[in-house]
Structures are given as C-alpha cells and as structure tokens.
Structure 1
C-alpha cells in the first residue's frame, strides 16, 4: 500500500549559506502518522507541480507575516519577516484551498491561513490582551498554557477532549477572522488558539505547536493522523488535480 505524501513548507532562507530549514519534529510526526514527509522550499514557480504530487499540506511555524499583507503596521516586536516565504506560502495556501486539499496550519501557518482569507492579526498580544497568559518565553522558547476547545468543533472531535495543555511560542494572534473561518479554541485570556473552515472539513489552524508534544501525547498526534486519514487519495481526484 502506497503511503500518502504530506507536503511541509520550509522556513525561508537564513544564515550565511542562505539555508532552507525545518524543525525535525514536523518530519518525525508525519512519519509517525503513517505518511511520507515532503519538504517544500520556499521558492515560487513550482507550486502546480508540488500540488500535483502531495495529498495534504502542513504550514509550520516561524517568523512573523509581513503586516503589509493584512493592512497592518510594523511593530517593534516583529521578527523573522521573509517576503520570499510570505509570497510562496500565500500562493501555495490559496492554490491548495482552490484544490480542496486537507491543510494543517500551525502557529505562523494559522495566522497565514487567516490572512490568506482576508483576515488580520493582532500585532503583539500583550498590547491587546495583557500578560495574564504567557504565550512565549522572552528567549523565544516554548511555554505551556491551557486552551478550551469548542465541543461542537471538528477539532474537538479529533482531539477527543475540550480542554488541554499546549506548547506555545508566539507573540501575535488572529484578529478579525477571514472569510469562511470560525474560532474553535481559546486561551484563558481570550486569544484565539484554533480556527477551522466552515466550508471545508479538513482545513484547521492551530496557534499552538502540536508537533512538540505529538510523539508522547496521543491526543495531539491525532491531529496529524486525521490529516493523513483525510488525504485526497482518490485516483480520479488526483488525476483531475494534475490536469488543472
């Protein structure tokens, strides 16, 4: 039996050698879920060919989305902005939505999903929500906090719970929701922690990092297993995708 191929977009070019990179946890958990990970470097021009091959996509974490994409302003806390990565991932995401591919969008990926569908972002959480909940260590390291999940959501169905502790590394958040999206999880301070499509079953955005816990936490691993199980592996649909 052929294993499904899950595309994962890479981080943008960085360092003296301009390296494309990706934390190993994304690769490890996709393999654990029974699929083959395919890392997609953040360069435009090969999106149709990539989408003809993969069965689903993961958009990972990373630096901030350029505020210009949602009509915002630069903030002194902005970091890691990559015009190349933004351009590639926004084009890839919109093309994937048009093809109805299953998507799991993590941290930056969730914010990108919201922006791609016309929403905007909270530039810096403490400015709007205060510091009741810490969402990121000052050294840009993960912290843990609780989230509450809407019991009527597809996310709650996958997780099997409506409350859990998650790993968080972000200073921005989803603001105005994009078209066809609804909020389905929140931290105690009211920050939106998950969104999902009201028009497509398998489009989920998570503000937390499930890949950091999935190897030892069955509930978080189910998020990746659901992505793999929901892949578009029908031969006729795959052929149609290639023909577009």
Structure 2
C-alpha cells in the first residue's frame, strides 16, 4: 500500500510538482550576508528567474541581508506568479540614493549580458572519474581528476555570479552564468582566482583544483539548463 501512495495526486502540493519543486524545499529563505540570488537558487535546485519572479525582484536581482525570499509559488497562484514576501527594513531600498544603489548593484548587472550559444570546452584536462547520475541525491555533476593545484578553466565565456564557500558540500565554489539558459559550477577548489562580477573568457583559469573526500585532486563540475541539472558530457566536446 505504501508503494502506491506516490501515484495519488495530492492537491496540497500539486502546484509544487507542476513547478518542478521538491515538496521538501522550504517555503522561505532568509538572506544572509554574502548571499546572491544565483547562489540561493542553485542551493535549492531552482531557476534564479523563478525565484526572482516569485519575489517581484527585477534585474539586476539585488537582494539584502534579512530579506525573506519565497522559494515556491503561492498555492493557487499558478506556477509562474506569487505575491512577494514583505521586505524587511534592511531590504527596503526606497530611501537609497542612486549612488548607494549603484554601489549595492552586482557588477555583473552593469554590463551588457552575454547571449548566443556557448562555445563549450572541458574545464580540466584530467580524466573523468565520476559520471553524471540523474538519480543522485544532492549534487548532480561529474568528477574530473587531476593534481591538486591544477588549473580549473571556464567551460565557456560568462559572468561570475558566485565565488565563495557558502554552499555546503561544494567547498570553494565558482558559478558562471553563460547566458539566460546555462549556468556552470566548479567545486572542490583549493584556491579561487575570480570574484563575483568578473567576466571571464572560455578557457580562462578561474581556480586551482582542490580535493574531494575520496580523491586527493578532483574538480566537481555541473551544468544547469534553465535551473535543471543536465549531463555535462552531453555538451562538452
């Protein structure tokens, strides 16, 4: 009887399934110092554009410490729309001067966004030691072995939208936005060589390889297409 329960269409979480959201995803995330919209969306397996839309946040997607972000559409509102969570005093930008707003604006938002296809290339010259598993829990990507300190390169031109160690299980992590369709992530790094807001070229060294829990030198590499994990090998030459 328990095995058949998953076949029932429970109305209470139907809108989550229609939006591609796990029922275990919390309803609200409170923004901490250093958080970015891209990082938050990545951590919960969501498309950053959906999170922005559910919270009535327009480009350049500026968020503030203490702000409460909705991580799912409101029940009955449809998958694409939701009322925004009321901002906290810290997130209220109505009294900011233009200069203050510019200072808080991510550098990536102050330039023309990239468009067009991604000229993909491998982010490391090491051998593939961990293949993509679409059924894996948590991170879904590939593992590329190499000597610790080996260069980690951008798999395509793009803008660095996250550089830090704030996502559990990824170590020192870089996330690059290539266009409105693709993001890539590079985890387990020993050293990060780029900062949020940097625009990088395809093949540019962005980090130095670190280690995973199983190997002395390994890069964890992910590709997400419109927020969904996909097999990187399907895109790499």
TM-score by structure 2 length? 0.29
Higher relative contact order, chain-length normalized (CA < 8 Å, sep 6+) = 1
Structure (1 or 2) with the greater helix fraction: 1
Higher Cα radius of gyration: 2
